[in-house]
Amino acid sequence: MPPDLDSAVLAAASAAGTTYSGWIADAARKELTVRAGLAAVAAYERDEGAFTPEELAEADAWARDAIKRSARTGGRARRSA
């Protein structure tokens, strides 16, 4: 691992109160979740057609709102099961 990246991971892990390997595992989990989400969207669009500009704008507005709500509460957004 490049030394500058190694140092950044170490600092991020320390700030998060976790171990180096724990931080890397969390980052890998997030990356894999993003990739799975992108694959699901691609599959949906293959089956149903591309999202319309209106649908994309609505999704962007929802995401901006969710970020604002999260910032106000200081917590992470929670998914319903």
Query: Where exactly are the structural domains of the chain?
Result: 1-49, 51-81
Cα–Cα distance measured from residue 8 to residue 56, given in angstroms and rounded to the nearest whole number: 34
- Residue 72's pLDDT is what? 82
CB 48 within 8 A of CB 40: no
Q: pLDDT (tens digit, 9 = 90+) per residue, 20-42?
A: 999 999 999 999 999 999 999 99
Position 39, amino acid: A
Please give the model's pTM, rounded to 2 decimal places.
Answer: 0.69
User: Which residues 6+ apart lie within 8 Å of 19 measured at CB?
Assistant: 13
pLDDT of residue 78: 52
